[in-house]
Structure 1
Amino acid sequence: MLLELEAIRDLTPETIDWLGDSAARALRSQMLSLPSNAPIPQQFAMRQQLANLELRLGNEGRAIELLQECQEVLDTRRMAIPPQVLSSIEVGLHFQRAVAYMRLGETQNCCQRNNADSCIVPIRGAAIHDHQQGSREALRSLAFVLENGPKNSEVWYRAIWLYNIAKMTVGEFPDGVPEHWRLPEETFQTTESFAEFSNVALDRGIATFSLAGGAIADDLDGDGWLDLMVSTMDTAGQTELYLGGGDGSFRRCTSEAKLVGLFGGLNLLHVDYDNDGFNDVLILRGGWFQGGGRHPNSLLHNNGDGTFTDVTFDAGLATRAPTQTAAWADCDNDGDLDLYIGNETTPQVAMASQLFRNEGDGTFTDVAESAGVLNDRFAKSVVWGDFNHDRWPDLFVSNLGQNNRLYQNGADGTFVDVASELNVNNPQRSFPAWFWDVNNDGHLDIFVSSYADDVAWLAAEHLGVLHDAERPKLYLGTGRDGFVEASERYGLSSPIAPMGCNFGDVDNDGYLDCYLGTGEPEYHNLMPNIMYHNQGGERFVDVTVPSRLGHLQKGHAVAFADFDQDGDLDIFEQLGGAFPGDRFYDALFDNPGFGNNWLKVRVVGTRTNRSGIGVRLHLVLETETGTRSIYRHVNSGGSFGANPFCQTIGIGSAKSVKEMAVYWPATDETQFIRDIPVNQQLDIVEN
């Protein structure tokens, strides 16, 4: 495996447009051989195109030089160009210049002088830029776009958004923004109250500087403390392991764990696939790279001694297909975990998704065709959940640009797609998804987000302008009958562009909240990541601003975990974009606490899979207002980022748990534990 990953790394400059520099090298060569009397439009176009490529590679200075040359070339022909055409060209050029200068400002300040407040909106204090040339020059060009560009156009809305952000970086928002360009106050202010989280990643030594990638938060060395593994889509980027000390501290143990040379991986999952008591790891590779993404995934067996061994080839999982999504479940209820991998089918790469049946001997067999779950579409998220309470896990597949799937498990090794029948096949521009119970009614709900991937939509939304961005969907489960769409009723109907995201109860009130890592590869799409607070299972409220969780950098894998063992969930976020010049530091947001009680529950299967995936928990509480139920379904959370399997369950002000029912799906049996004291961890072994 290591030799193949080295070869992929070495071929990347030529084979992967996202990461490689072959296009830039070719264009540089063409420009050197361009005669001085070449047509002016050709001179302009080549410089403008190369400026974009140089910026993607992180060469901001060279990109800015090329854009200045474009302006000089344009000036030589100014009188010969029709005014309307000239205006359109200059507006586009100034917007490109603004983006280049804003990226320069990010590099000089947020990257080279990174601190805990960097890039968190509203930008304030230590996050205000010391080196302001980038923002000042960007503001100059953005003003040109706003003054000369067509009002209410896509580029105009982009410029409005970036102008307000740039003013924030120099400490001049909101008063320094002309009223007719100023976004409404509520864009970056709120009347909602919420505790402030603080980014402690630098202090804890886990602020890995990389491109987009995955993250796992769980015990990976068997000492009982939560560890952290992170990956990156960079084919030269090392997968890293940080072992936790139980007090919020970490130490890097990549080499000791024998992970050196395991490059690349946009997403990570963990599970105990062989039921030996240790969490194994799956690295997913090739996502978004299309034909250049025929990379093998890696199944890392946990040896139980602090080291891992890549067993991908021996396990039969070495298919080379572009993917970033997979999920584990015991789909045949035989006591071991099976694996579904959602591959990305495009006109260039026809690669159906795969269902690998666990044979119980360390090997897997692809049974997707006979099971009826090939899904030859562009899969971006796959998640398991028993939506109809028949104890057989069903499969939801989010497909970008096509109908989503809900494969109902037939309990006989086959599945039927009931997405259209149950009206859960939207949104069409679909990305992350998960099963959860948002209202504690005992039925699994589905959240599946649209990918409204442009700040133009964000600006239009805040300005109250109608637009056609697709909205996310929240499908409330009704049990055996299906689902009811409730995104607008629950306050989840804003245009958002999440990639990595996850859920957990951050305030320990018993209701699941969610954090969305947003963004899109292009540099102009600087949008804050979003925190939604679940208010009593009836609606979600955006608490991004008061929580200080609105990081502007591209958000990828998210994990909710109590790293410092104080009873509340902290949030780890893997940050960084897709272009070589868009690396960033990961964030760890420390939860300040909300004063509520909690219970941690770790289930250990003996006949059910040892990880407990698919186990259902029903807690009954006695409160001052009467009896209350809380439901949890054991998994690692959302589709991009992995939470611990040990469930941290908030119980509000309750002083004890009257009863907890633990349902084991493989045996169809329920185990009861009664009169449980709060604020402790409970390990429950299957009878």
Structure 2
Amino acid sequence: MNRHLAVVPLAAMLLVAGNAAAQFTDVTTAPLNETFSGLGGGWVDYDSDGDLDLFRTDYSSSSLNRLYRNDNGSFSDRSDADIRWGAVTSKAGAGWADWDGDGDLDVVVSSSGSARLFRLDTPDNYNSVLDLGVSGGRAVCWSDLDVDGDLDLFLAGTGGSAVWTNDGDGTFTQLTFNVRAQGAQLGDYDRDGDPDLLICYDGDGTRLYRNDGPDQWAEIQPELINTNPAAALGSRFVDLDNDGDLDIATASYNNSLPNSIFRNDGAAGFVDVTDESGDFASVTSQTECLAFADWDLDGDLDAYLANNSGDAETTGILLRNDGDLHFTDITTQLPPRTGSLQYFATPGDYDLDGDPDLFVAGWGSPGQLLRNDQQTGNHWLHVTLRGAVETSGIGSWIEVTSGALTQTRYVSGGESWATQSPSPFHLFGLGTATTANVTVHWPSGETTTRTNVPVDRRIEMYEPGAETVTTDPFSPGTTFEFTLDPGVATVQDAVL
């Protein structure tokens, strides 16, 4: 009996040791390891070649923003060759979108002075086309605010924010929005067809506004959501419980107050479930940015908290979603972080192997690329949207059903505190499922559906009327549709 009792603790120790092994690998090389005064950035396929490039803003008034082009997993600095920023100084946030519907991504860069819109006119040539004002600019958010079929713009600013409506002829009309904001995100929390607004500010807290028109915003449940007015920066819309609507996660910049989760219960409003969220709420390390991705491909969104803690051990926290909005700290799966002041974190499958990797960086800290090397055996599906007018599908809902599980993602044109989502790429973990059904609800009201899609591949979903374009048809795992000869033969779902 004594020998048997001695074996149980040993087995437990081996299990703990196995779980503690790092499952993310630091693969940072030059130029990604630069150290500068960076505030924001994110993944973006700026050259439309089918993989994720990396963009970072530099708050220094004398330096360029950084643009790193991804070529088969290796990065080269294209900051000077591809991006000419003109008079923009003290850059903070950026938002990429095809606002003019010409098939390529343009960009707005916010700054302490004035935000500017840059249009891609020819390859490697961005021209400044509009001074957008908004001093103390931070978050940049694109969406169709007035539901007229084109992309409008919300700019968050510490001196006051602004809405710019797209007139459809290459011009914008400014509508003043006298609310200070640093972080902001647009998302249709009530699923009524127009994007609502979530903003946060270090000093004013987090606020939710319902869209009743591009110049009519009604604040919703301030007594619940704005419970931490002293400090909030990186609040987010995200469906954490897979029930098909957008919950709210808020980042606390106050060491004495937790991060929070508010569950969306539809007509009943939002409910504070922070106390049931496990280690998500236990982190009190000045969280700057919340990032969500399905690290283990089990079908729910996990989290990463970028913290301005001053301590390398707590500067980045990795969390596993256990279901029911409960999170467990799995930071031991990360390699040592190289900085102690993280300002943003952006997940994205940069190496196109079917799992989300992570890039993190901060003020005066070197960038760090963490490759996801988990071997869970779970399956995945990579969905690319091709819209008819706005080519990235901003404002769309993607539903992926595998077995009894349906996952829902809202395509947002900006992800709060100076970060950009990897639009138009969307990665879904499918667990042990072998096929999936995919439905896209486009902002136009159109719906596209594909059924029995095999797993572990990349597919493209087209809005009716969209131009059929395949960025790299010869990449392994790419799935696309094409016609050989009308009336003779049609081949669908070809896999290379």
Same fold (TM over 0.5): yes
Which whole-Å CA distance do the structure 1 matches of 2:227 and 2:366 have between them? 34
Alignment pair present for 1:504 and 2:330: no
Q: Which structure dedicates a bigger proportion of its chain to helix? A: 1
> Aligned ranges for residues 435-446 of structure 1 at < 5 Å?
435-446=237-248
Measured against aligned partners, the alpha-carbon deviations of 1:464-487 in whole angstroms (never above 9, x if no partner) come to: xxxxx1222101111233111112
- Residue identity matched to 2:178: L
* Pairing of 1:114-193 with structure 2 (within 5 A): 193=20
Per the alignment, residue 251 of structure 1 pairs with: 76
1:296 aligns with 2:114: yes
Aligned counterparts of 1:479 and 1:673: Cα–Cα separation in 2 = 28
Q: Among 221, 224, 248, which residue is 2:50 paired with?
A: 224
2:369 alignment partner, one of 584, 588, 595: 588
Partner SS state of residue 333, structure 2? helix
- Asked whether the equivalents of residues 336 and 358 of structure 1 are also in contact (C-alpha less than 8 Å), the reply is yes
| Aligned pair partner of 1:686 in 436, 454, 463 | 463
User: 2: CA distance between counterparts of 1:216 and 1:471?
Assistant: 25
Distance across 1 between alignment mates of 2:294 and 2:21: 13
Does the 8 A contact of 2:33 with 2:366 survive in 1? yes
**Mapping of residues 384-463 of structure 1, within 5 Å:** 384-411=186-213, 413-420=215-222, 423-428=224-229, 429-453=231-255
Q: In the alignment, residue 500 of structure 1 is paired with which amino acid? A: C
Contact kept? 1:352, 1:374, Cα under 8 Å: yes
Which range moved further: 493-502 or 391-400? 493-502
Q: Which residue of 1 aligns with 2:470?
A: none
2:391 is the counterpart of 1:602? no
1:517 maps to amino acid:
A
Q: Which of the pair has the greater relative contact order for Cα pairs under 8 Å at 6+ separation?
A: 2
**Contact 1:275-1:611 at 8 Å conserved across structures:** no
In structure 1, the partner of 2:408 is 631
Superposition map of 1:84-95 within 5 A: none
Whether contact under 8 Å (1:575, 1:587) holds in the other structure is no
Shift of 1:656: 0.7
Indicate how the Cα distance of structure 1 residues 559 and 206 shifts in structure 2: closer, same or farther if over 3 A, else same. Answer: same
Q: Give secondary structure in 1 for the equivalent of 2:100.
A: coil
Instruction: Provide closer, same or farther for how the CA distance between residues 224 and 412 of structure 1 changes in structure 2, counting only shifts above 3 A.
Output: closer
Closer, same or farther in 2 for the Cα pair 1:680/1:524, shift >3 Å?
Answer: closer
- Contact in 2 for aligned 1:530/1:549 (Cα 8 Å): no
Closer, same or farther: CA 332–549 of 1 in aligned 2, 3 Å: farther
1:374 aligns with 2:178: yes
Q: Given that residues 339 and 362 in structure 2 are in contact (C-alpha distance below 8 angstroms), is that contact kept between their aligned partners in structure 1?
A: no
Pair 1:651–1:537, CA change in 2 (3 A): farther
Structure 1 residues 195 and 630: CA distance shift in structure 2, 3 A: farther
Q: Distance in 2 between matches of 1:539 and 1:194?
A: 22
Which residue number corresponds to residue 477 of structure 1?
Answer: 264
Please report how far the alpha carbon of residue 388 of structure 1 lies from its aligned counterpart in structure 2 after TM superposition. Answer: 0.9
- Residue 610 to residue 524, structure 1, CA distance change in 2 (3 Å): closer
Runs of 4+ in 1 over 6 A off after TM superposition: 523-526
Letter in 2 for 1:330: D
Deviation of 1:598 (Å): 0.9
Correspondence for 1:333: 147
Match of 2:330 in 1: 543
Of 125, 142, 153, which residue of structure 2 is paired with 1:307? Answer: 125
Give the Cα separation in 2 of the matches to 1:502 and 1:636. Answer: 15
The DSSP-based 3-state class of the residue aligned with 1:256 is helix
Q: Is the 8 A contact 1:396 1:406 kept in 2?
A: yes
Distance apart, 1:674 and its partner CA: 0.8
1:256 is aligned with what amino acid? A
Residue 26 of structure 2 aligns with which residue?
199
Q: Secondary structure at the match of 2:420?
A: coil
Match of 2:394 among 613, 627, 635: 613
Provide the rounded CA distance (Å) in 2 between the counterparts of 1:683 and 1:257: 27
| Residue 170 of structure 2 is aligned to residue 362 of structure 1 | yes
Gaps of 5+ in 2: 1-15, 465-496
- The one-letter amino acid paired with 2:135 is A
Matched to 1:281, the amino acid is: V
Greater gyration radius: 1
- Cα distance between partner residues in 2 of 1:231 and 1:260: 11
**In the aligned structure 2, how far is the partner of 1:524 from the partner of 1:505?**
26
Structure 2 CA distance for partners of 1:233 and 1:501, relative to 1, 3 Å: farther
Per-residue CA distance 1:140-190 (angstroms, 9 max, x = gap): xxxxxxxxxxxxxxxxxxxxxxxxxxxxxxxxxxxxxxxxxxxxxxxxx99
Determine whether 1:343 maps to 2:120.
no
- Aligned mates of 1:396, 1:432 — CA distance in 2: 10
State the TM-score, normalizing by the size of structure 1. 0.61
Structure-2 separation of matches of 1:564 and 1:217: 12
Which residue in the other structure is 2:9 paired with? none
**Structure-1 separation of matches of 2:268 and 2:75:** 47
Whether the aligned pair in 1 keeps the contact of 2:139 and 2:414 (CA below 8 Å) is no
Give the Cα separation in 1 of the matches to 2:274 and 2:188.
21
Cα distance between partner residues in 1 of 2:243 and 2:134: 41
Q: Which residue of 2 aligns with 1:233?
A: 59
Give the TM-score normalised by structure 2: 0.83
Query: Once the 2 structures are TM-superposed, how far is the Cα of residue 506 of structure 1 from its aligned partner?
Result: 1.7
Q: Structure 1 CA distance, aligned partners of 2:452 and 2:122?
A: 35
* Cα RMSD after superposing both structures: 2.3
Given that 1:656 and 1:678 are in contact with CA atoms closer than 8 Å, whether structure 2 keeps it comes out as yes
Structure 1 stretch displaced more, 217-226 or 400-409? 400-409
Q: 1:433 to 1:250 in 2, by over 3 A?
A: same
Q: How many residues matched?
A: 442
Query: 1:255/1:551 Cα in 2 relative to 1: closer, same or farther (>3 Å)?
Result: closer
1:240, distance to aligned residue in structure 2 (A): 1.6
Flag structure 1 segments of 5+ consecutive residues without an equivalent.
1-188, 287-294, 345-350, 454-468, 577-582
Q: How far does the alpha carbon of each residue in 1:247-275 deviate from its partner, in whole angstroms, 9 at most, with x for none?
A: 21111222221426665312222122212
What percentage of aligned pairs have identical amino acids? 28
In 1, distance between residues paired with 2:271 and 2:24? Answer: 34
AA at the equivalent of 1:443? D
Give how far 1:591 is off: 0.9
DSSP-derived class of the 2:358 partner: strand
- Compute the displacement of 1:683 (Å): 1.2
Distance 1:363 1:412 in 2: 16
In structure 2, the CA distance between the partners of 1:526 and 1:439, relative to structure 1 (3 Å rule), is closer
Supply the AA of the counterpart residue of 2:79. T
Query: For 1:536 and 1:194, how far apart are their aligned partners in 2?
Result: 23
Counterpart Cα distance in 2 of 1:407 and 1:363: 26
